[in-house]
Amino acid sequence: MNTNETKIYTADPSALGLFGLAMVTLVASSQKLGLTTGTSFIVPWAIFLGSFAQLFACLKDAQKGNVFGATAFGAYSMFWFSVAMSWMIQNGVFGESMAAAADPKQLGFAFVGYLIFSVIMTIGSMETNKVLFTIFVLIDFLLLGLVMSILGGSHFGHQLAAYSEFAIAMVGFYGVAANVLNATFDRTFLPVGKPFGIFKKAPASVKKAA
């Protein structure tokens, strides 16, 4: 009887997913900050980096049984697919009549839904690491700013969204560096911060040992 088992190791996809997030938020924030104009050249980055890179990370995390990672990367990949298509509609890719009938407030309500989701994920991120927690808090502020800007016409909301999105990109790049370099060097080259340890209960065996 052959008792040999073959183990298949899957690399952590977090670095690629975070890179996709960092790239698309960097490009998108440049438009919100007034450094660039229009959305035409943001669309490709939204589709290939914001969407496909995070979708790939989602599928790999799902294979690893990582519910949090699969849900986060999957949901935000679909977010950028939807945002990219919304920009395409506004730019007349699907016809002038569809562009003319677009109601931006519907985007505002979509952002409300994602804000609720993001708050849930922020709570979950407290038991991952502090870099991810920081990214989710910034995503909360980004979505809050978008809701205030679109549904309330708030200039402050627009500014909040712009600077939050740029900050997401910067922290995201740090997360990419930490994931890649820590794994490559097999040591903590760049710290990501320990979980807060508030909600996650220790296994029963650990409690007995203590």
Domain assignment present for residue 6? The answer is no
Cβ count within 10 A of residue 37: 9
pLDDT at 201: 75
Structural domains of the chain, count: 1
pLDDT at 203: 57
Domain assignment present for residue 107? The answer is yes
- Please state, in angstroms and rounded to a whole number, the distance separating the CA atoms of residues 189 and 180: 10
Our measurement of the distance from residue 155's CA atom to the centroid of its chain's CA atoms, rounded to an integer in Å, reads 24
Mean pLDDT, 10 residues at a time, the chain of 210 residues: 62 95 98 97 97 97 95 98 96 94 96 98 97 98 98 97 98 98 97 93 52
| DSSP states of 41-58 | TTHHHIIIIIIIIHHHHH
pLDDT at 206: 43
Domain assignment present for residue 7? The answer is no
Nearest residue to 83 (alpha-carbon basis) of 10, 193, 161, 136: 161
- Please state, in angstroms and rounded to a whole number, the distance separating the CA atoms of residues 173 and 109: 29
Domain assignment present for residue 4? The answer is no
Domain assignment present for residue 54? The answer is yes
Q: Contact at 8 Å (CB) between 114 and 122?
A: no
Rounded alpha-carbon distances, angstroms, from residue 61 to 58, 109, 188: 5, 29, 22
Domain assignment present for residue 181? The answer is yes
Domain assignment present for residue 2? The answer is no
| Cβ neighbours of residue 203 closer than 8 Å, sequence gap 6 or more | none
Domain assignment present for residue 8? The answer is no
Q: Considering Cα of 33, then 37, then 39, then 44, what sign does the dihedral take?
A: negative
Where in the sequence is the domain holding 182, given as residue range(s)?
A: 14-209
